[in-house]
Amino acid sequence: MLSIVPLLALASTVAAHGYVSSPPAREAGNAAVAACGRSVVNDIKRDNTSHVEGLPELAAKDSGYNAALCNLWLCRGLQFADNAANVQKWTAGQSVNVKVRLTIPHTGNANVSVVDTKTNKIIGKPLVSWDKGYADEKAFYAKTTPKDQIDFNVTIPSDLGSQCASAGACVLQWWWYGTGAKQSYESCVDFTVAAP
Ligand X SMILES: *[C@@H]1O[C@H](CO)[C@@H](O)[C@H](O)[C@H]1NC(C)=O
Give me the residues that bind ligand X (CB under 6 A), please. Answer: 19, 25, 27, 48, 95, 97, 109-111, 122, 126, 129, 152-153, 175, 177
Q: How far is the CB of 185 from ligand X (least distance, A)?
A: 9
Separation in Å, CA 195 to CA 50, 61, 73, 95: 35, 42, 27, 18
Residue nearest to ligand X (CB): 177
Q: How far is the CB of 14 from ligand X (least distance, A)?
A: 17
Looking at the Cβ atoms of 65 and 90, the one nearer to ligand X is 90
Q: How far is the CB of 67 from ligand X (least distance, A)?
A: 21
Classify the phi-psi angles of 40: left when phi > 0, otherwise alpha if psi is within -120 to 50, otherwise beta. Answer: alpha
Q: How far is the CB of 194 from ligand X (least distance, A)?
A: 20
What are the residue ranges of helices labelled H in 16-103?
30-36, 38-46, 55-60
Looking at the Cβ atoms of 110 and 181, the one nearer to ligand X is 110
Closest CA to 190 of 36, 63, 27: 27
Looking at the Cβ atoms of 97 and 162, the one nearer to ligand X is 97
CB 30 within 8 A of CB 115: no
